[in-house]
Structure 1
Amino acid sequence: MRIALGVAYDGRGYQGWQSQRSGLTVQDKLEAALSAFAAVPVQTVCAGRTDAGVHGLMQVVHVDTDVDRPPASWVRGTNRYLPPDIAVQWAQPVADDFHARFVATARRYAYVLLESPVRPSLESGRVGWAFRPLDGDAMRTAAAHLIGEHDFTSFRASSCQALSPVKTLHRADIARKGTAGSATAYWRFDFEGNAFLHHMVRNIMGCLVAVGQGGQSPDWMRDVIAARSRDAAAPTFAPDGLYFLGPVYDPRWGLPTRTPAYDWIP
């Protein structure tokens, strides 16, 4: 039996998603909880790995098991063994040809950024921070250069294991939430693409902030793409405000498209 599960987590206390010897990853905690609930070893396959400090609003995993329990039992039973900052949101039996990673048609990320002369306090670890004012129009013009199929080598971490740097970015939306003229506001950056390279969104964010603060022109983004060199781009931005919104699947799989956590971030 194959079961898909949607998982939300606060990434601040973990060394990313993927299992490590330390055991301090989201995957390690989830598999330990699933195994405790099922009373047999359980391994997971995820839709997309996240880095240390990055949050997940709807990570999707699938598991293969002979344990037959109602979906609600998988949710409540697994959550009993999980720490407070990780929770299974839903569980659903799926066909054997469903694969959390390979059948995803796209993936979605959001970055939440605080524009303020004062650093975050209550939001620490949950938002990025820019202490200089940001120009939304300039950032949107720069982001438009990213749309479509490109070689994203300039936004790729040196440790990236992807077979190809060529990806397709379908959408890059930028919205500001705050009083006009105020020195404080929240910005939300939404990205959707067929796949993402290691650190790709964080490296894009570094470039967008550089443009937004006037350090570079919007057309500089086009030059960064063309350079196909990590040295051409801005430094990697902080992981704090990055959220994996989850994969996109064909409706035929009948899986949820969002969780209650979606309404938590601005």
Structure 2
Amino acid sequence: MTEGFRQAQAATERWRIDLSYDGTDFSGWASQPGLRTVQGTLEHWITQVLRLPEPVQVVCAGRTDAGVHARGQVVHVDLPAEAPVDSLERRLRRVLPPDVVVRGVSAAPPGFDARFAAVWRRYVYRLNDGTAAPDPLLRGHITRVRGPLDLDAMNAAGTMLIGLKDFAAFCRRREGASTIRTLLELHAERDDRGDVAYTVKADAFCHSMVRSLMGAMTTIGMGKRDADWLAEVMTSPVRNSTINVMPAHGLCLEEVGYPPDADLAARVVAARATRGSEEL
């Protein structure tokens, strides 16, 4: 390691940004040339409002697909120590488009990594199955299905997926990436409007896993498949073509959980060893 590199490292500080966004008009989280993305928008405006000589790069807890929303996204960014970060939250709120809102900017504790330090992510998928009149104002956030859905059947079948398992049948395979995940919660309930809110919580998710899980659960809830079919699906070593991937707009990243500050560095090391550069 050169002395110049050490100085460059010492001259930056890591910050945590809590973020919410409506994914309707974004081509997903990750920056893509010529497309409007959440990452690209955030990086552009951080660089602009702090008048930085070089573009910044932000790292998120969960890379959402095009059309997926987030209420509790977490990112980190390394900024020059002399940058006026104390005013960053206020400045970003002034310039960011209305479909992106910064909820908070805070100094990251030692060892913090928005992606690899996370111990769980909680998503909620929202459906309207016709038991209540759909709210037209929520049409971009709730998926309509031809119901009614049997929530008891969905919840009973979902119990067999809880725990450390190989979810290859629900994931788009990526070269060298593991499909083994620990599913912590899979539960459907009706909200005050009568719509279905389906919570999916795990240590991490592989690509398309949540929407594929929802496709399987919705099929069971409609009575087209049963728990025996789900058990058979789980034996597949590759993505199962009988599973429907649900539309993106019904999905929202609600919350990300982290360990105590003293355990952050160890968590990062463990997560990098098991998941490398794959999607979370």
Fold in common (TM above 0.5): yes
Partner of 1:165: 179
Higher helix share: 2
| 1:105 aligns to 2:119 (yes or no) | yes
Distance 2:176 2:190 in 1: 33
Deviations 1:50-81 (A, max 9, x none): 0000001111111111244354x221111222
Long gaps (5+) in structure 1: 179-183, 254-266
- How do residues 231-242 of structure 1 correspond to structure 2 at under 5 angstroms? 231-242=240-251
| 1:215 aligns to 2:224 (yes or no) | yes
Distance 1:221 1:206 in 2: 11
> Helix, strand or coil for the counterpart of 1:228?
coil
Aligned CA RMSD, in angstroms, stands at 2.2
Kindly tell me the number of residue pairs found equivalent between the two proteins: 248
Larger radius of gyration: 2
Partner of 2:25: 13
- How do residues 45-64 of structure 1 correspond to structure 2 at under 5 angstroms? 45-64=59-78
| 1:124 aligns to 2:139 (yes or no) | yes
Long gaps (5+) in structure 2: 1-12, 263-280
> Helix, strand or coil for the counterpart of 1:98?
coil
Amino acid at match of 1:214: G
Report sequence identity in percent: 36
Distance 1:223 1:33 in 2: 48
Aligned counterpart in structure 2 of residue 22 of structure 1, from 34, 38, 53:
34
Normalising by structure 2, we get a TM-score of 0.82
Distance 2:51 2:256 in 1: 29
- How do residues 1-266 of structure 1 correspond to structure 2 at under 5 angstroms? 1-40=13-52, 41-66=55-80, 67-69=82-84, 71=86, 73-116=87-130, 121-158=136-173, 160=174, 163-177=177-191, 185-252=194-261
Distance 1:137 1:164 in 2: 31
Distance 1:3 1:60 in 2: 11
Partner of 2:277: none
Normalising by structure 1, we get a TM-score of 0.87
Distance 1:60 1:252 in 2: 16
Distance 2:58 2:112 in 1: 13
Distance 1:31 1:237 in 2: 30
Task: Give, in angstroms, the shift of residue 96 of structure 1.
Answer: 4.4
